[in-house]
């Protein structure tokens, strides 16, 4: 038989390989078609779990068994399957959450350029959130990605937050802390470095290898095996690859780059070596950020991220973490971030397993609020990290598919309508530390001072007087909410300075009212506690802004607010992240006209039953009459109020504001003499 001299003996074998590849792709496509059918069943039946962990385990076990029987390595088979299962899961999520409706096009920012690991991860992730070509936009820095997202130039931003070898990426954590961004997904990307060179270059020609410094470090063993090769740090892996095609001609023959296989292809480079990293596992975890939260289907195994700050006292962090342990919620990451404006105080960045609406996590978060001074939820998102043993994270037990929007304030304890109150010792109550003063369980705080700051001399005299009578904090209004526009409106910014000076001289933390959003920065700069007056309890825009501040807020009950409305107003502050909320009962409007307002003392025990927040009482504005203030103050202490805020003036007859209710030095002495035995009998510290 005549043989064709040009026939390469490899040809038929290659044909076999090509045929196997074609079949592989067809089989994969068939598998994903079946996955789509599963998704439509799960979408129609809300009680179907989205992830059947047991089934995935069985699939994995038989896959590995079959692979080994055919002589394939188990780790290799496991890795291929992991990719397939990840892809299937994302496909199902996209279909179930209708993320792939026709024509859905989203833009996602990342740091770097095409071919970088960020770009690869972003395009993988977006394929499941959009149809058609998604818009990927590369930026120079993490900050620029954040800015583009906040400005609305992109819908999402994908940023690397930690690497399994290099650890956490501080700039990205800082970006998340500093801006109102939400985490909506995560991606764990297997980093696979290759050595890319201009076509024709051989290993022996190489004198320089350039890449991002982290990549160079990750390939230490490989690099030190090469003789006479200099390492050259470069801004990122993909740019290092690009530079080989655009740099000076000299570099093209003796320089290589460590980058992704995709970057090498993109720039027409040859790949001389693969799998360069010292460790086989080199994974980067990325977070997908958005301007709005996108809570996932609660049937998925999820993670929830949050930021909190604890009160600055011993054991505070342990108590906060115990809340998760008690609820059997698993912590997957904790990191601390310094706060530049508060040296040596830290924000904790925590990821836990579970959906924010799952009963265990929701319960833990309610308790967490009573031991933190600030808590910001960053988002719940599907978990993509898998435990080392190759098992998947456990899916949560079936819980309702659509999380209900809470109509009850979540600072309210969970009490069925007719249930007996929980035993007292089971309740966690917040304590708030204000300089040397502790407000909350086991303590009694007396806040006193004039209705308004009138002059430096007046407020200094007032501070001296209230301090001598046992007050531990100083009040004084600089911005006054007066019923009549003709009445004294307060000294404004000047008053803040005088109040601060008086507080400083007598070592009394200060409380003053903030009337508008614009005044917040000035009040924050001068006072220790911000007060929201009764007339502003419904000013939700103001409350939302105060939810972001890092100082305690006294929230006064609106004159016609029910307790539920009062707590919902407090919820605005808590939801914004500010957990240092002090409730203040100051009298409500009733048909009774013999007092300025009717002091609702039952609010004290009722609120104590309903919430962990501290409750103080203002007998001055309730009574409107000096003579009535003292008995009401004693009654409030007896009812269990955590403190009192009482108006007092060194010369009440000269007061520019609320003179009828201002206590003089003698009244103050009388009041504190009556209060001491009550507080002592309760075993509280004053």
Which of residues 155 and 513 has its CB atom nearest to Mn ion in the complex?
513
Q: Report helix angle 74-96 to 10-44, nearest 10.
A: 40
12 near ligand PEP (CB under 6 A) = no
Applying CB under 5 A, the residues found at the interface with Mn ion are 451, 658
160 binds, among ligand PEP, Mn ion, none (CB under 5 to 8 A by kind): none
Judged by CB under 6 A, which of 182, 586, 608, 612 binds ligand PEP? 586
| CA pair distance 309, 372, nearest whole angstrom | 6
Check: CB of residue 277 under 8 Å from CB of residue 212. Answer: no
534 binds, among Mn ion, ligand PEP, none (CB under 5 to 8 A by kind): ligand PEP
449 near ligand PEP (CB under 6 A) = no
The continuous run of DSSP H or E covering 438 comes out as strand 437-440
| CA pair distance 157, 184, nearest whole angstrom | 10
Angle at alpha carbon of residue 110, lines to 135 and 380, rounded to 5°: 95
Residue 578 pairs in a beta bridge with 374
- How far, in Å, are 172, 529, 530, 548 from residue 520 at the CA level? 28, 11, 9, 11
Q: Which of residues 221-280 bind ligand PEP (CB under 6 A)?
A: none
Largest CA distance in the chain: 126
Q: Which of residues 619-638 bind ligand PEP (CB under 6 A)?
A: 621
Which of residues 362 and 555 has its CB atom nearest to ligand PEP in the complex?
555
> Look-up: residue for tokens 């006292």?
313
Which of residues 185 and 658 has its CB atom nearest to Mn ion in the complex?
658
Q: How far is the CB of 535 from ligand PEP (least distance, A)?
A: 6
534 near ligand PEP (CB under 6 A) = yes
**Alpha helices, DSSP H, located in 327-409:** 359-369
Residue 339 pairs in a beta bridge with 342
596 near ligand PEP (CB under 6 A) = no
Which of residues 251 and 658 has its CB atom nearest to Mn ion in the complex?
658
Which of residues 186 and 658 has its CB atom nearest to Mn ion in the complex?
658
Q: How far is the CB of 605 from ligand PEP (least distance, A)?
A: 20
**Residue count at the site for ligand PEP (CB under 6 A)?**
11
First-to-last CA distance in the chain?
A: 110
649 near ligand PEP (CB under 6 A) = no
591 counts as catalytic: no
Interface stretch with ligand PEP, choices 8-16, 309-317, 516-524, 531-539 (CB under 6 A): 531-539
581 near ligand PEP (CB under 6 A) = no
643 near ligand PEP (CB under 6 A) = no
Q: Which of 284, 472, 512, 611 is catalytic?
A: 284
590 counts as catalytic: no
Fill in the DSSP letter of residue 514.
-
516 near ligand PEP (CB under 6 A) = no
443 near ligand PEP (CB under 6 A) = no
Q: How far is the CB of 542 from ligand PEP (least distance, A)?
A: 13
384 near ligand PEP (CB under 6 A) = no
> Look-up: residue for tokens 């080989």?
244
Interior/surface letters 470-507, b for 16+ CB within 10 angstroms, e for the rest: bbbbbbbbbbbeeeeeeeebbbeeebbbbbbbbbeebe
Measuring CA to CA, which residue among 50, 81, 53, 55 is closest to residue 67?
Answer: 81
State the catalytic residues.
284, 286
- Contacts to ligand PEP by CB under 6 A: 451, 477, 481, 513, 533-535, 556, 586, 618, 621
């Amino acid at each position: 038989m005549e043989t064709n001299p040009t026939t390469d003996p490899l040809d038929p074998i290659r044909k076999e390989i090509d045929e196997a590849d074609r079949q592989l792709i067809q089989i994969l496509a068939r598998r994903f078609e079946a996955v789509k059918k599963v998704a439509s069943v799960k979408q129609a039946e809300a009680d179907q779990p989205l992830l059947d962990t047991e089934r995935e385990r069985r699939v994995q076990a038989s896959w590995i068994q079959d692979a080994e029987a055919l002589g394939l390595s188990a780790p290799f088979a496991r890795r291929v399957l992991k990719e397939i299962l990840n892809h299937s899961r994302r496909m199902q999520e996209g279909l179930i959450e209708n993320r792939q409706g026709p024509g859905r096009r989203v833009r996602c920012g990342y740091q770097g350029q095409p071919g970088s690991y960020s770009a690869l991860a972003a395009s993988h992730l977006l394929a499941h959130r959009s149809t058609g070509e998604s818009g990927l936009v590369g930026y120079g820095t993490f900050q620029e990605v954040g800015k583009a997202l906040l400005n609305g130039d992109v819908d999402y931003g994908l940023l690397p937050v930690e690497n399994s070898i290099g650890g956490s990426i501080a700039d990205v954590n800082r970006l998340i802390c500093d801006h109102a961004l939400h985490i909506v997904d995560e991606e764990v990307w297997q980093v696979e470095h290759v050595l890319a060179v201009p076509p024709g270059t051989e290993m022996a020609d190489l004198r320089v290898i350039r890449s991002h410094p982290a990549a160079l470090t990750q390939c230490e063993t490989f690099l030190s095996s090469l003789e006479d090769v200099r390492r050259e740090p470069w801004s990122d892996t993909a740019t290092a690859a690009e530079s080989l095609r655009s740099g000076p001609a000299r570099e093209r023959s003796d320089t290589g780059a460590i980058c992704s296989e995709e970057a090498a292809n993109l720039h027409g480079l040859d790949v001389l070596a693969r799998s360069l990293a010292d460790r086989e596992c080199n994974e980067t975890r990325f977070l997908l950020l958005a301007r709005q939260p996108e809570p996932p289907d609660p049937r998925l195994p999820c993670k929830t991220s949050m930021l909190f700050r604890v009160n600055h006292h011993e054991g505070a962090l342990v108590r906060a973490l115990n809340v998760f342990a008690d609820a059997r919620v698993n912590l997957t990451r904790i990191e601390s971030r310094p706060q530049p404006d508060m040296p040596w105080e830290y924000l904790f960045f925590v990821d836990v397993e579970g959906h924010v609406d799952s009963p265990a996590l929701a319960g833990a978060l309610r308790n967490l609020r009573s031991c933190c001074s600030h808590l910001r939820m960053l988002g719940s998102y599907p978990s993509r990290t898998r435990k080392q043993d190759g098992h998947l994270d456990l899916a949560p037990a079936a819980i309702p598919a659509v999380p209900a929007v809470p109509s009850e304030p979540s600072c309210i304890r969970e009490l069925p309508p007719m249930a007996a109150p929980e035993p007292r010792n089971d309740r966690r109550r917040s304590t708030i530390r204000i300089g040397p003063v502790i407000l909350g369980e086991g303590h009694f705080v007396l806040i006193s001072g004039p209705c308004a700051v009138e002059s430096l001399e007046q407020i200094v005299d007032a501070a001296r007087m209230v301090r001598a009578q046992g007050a531990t904090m100083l009040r004084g209004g600089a911005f006054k909410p007066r019923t009549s526009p003709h009445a004294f409106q307060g000294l404004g910014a000047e008053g803040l300075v005088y109040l601060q000076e008086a507080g400083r001289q007598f070592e009394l933390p200060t409380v003053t009212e903030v009337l508008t959003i614009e005044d917040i920065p000035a009040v924050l700069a001068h006072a220790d506690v911000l007060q929201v007056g009764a007339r502003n309890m419904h000013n939700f825009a103001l409350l939302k802004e105060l939810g972001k501040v890092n100082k305690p807020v006294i929230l006064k009950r609106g004159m016609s607010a029910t307790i539920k409305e009062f707590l919902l107003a407090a919820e605005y502050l808590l939801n914004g992240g500010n957990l240092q909320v002090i409730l203040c009962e100051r009298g409500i409007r009733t048909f009774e006209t013999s007092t300025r307002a009717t002091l609702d003392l039952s609010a004290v025990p009722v609120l104590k039953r309903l919430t962990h927040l501290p409750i103080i009482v203002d007998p001055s504005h309730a009574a409107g009459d000096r003579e009535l203030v003292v008995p009401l103050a004693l009654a409030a202490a007896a009812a269990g109020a955590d403190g009192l805020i009482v108006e007092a003036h060194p010369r009440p007859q000269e007061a520019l504001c609320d003179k009828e209710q201002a206590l003089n030095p003698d009244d103050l002495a009388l009041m504190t003499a009556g209060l001491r035995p009550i507080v002592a009998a309760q075993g509280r510290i004053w």
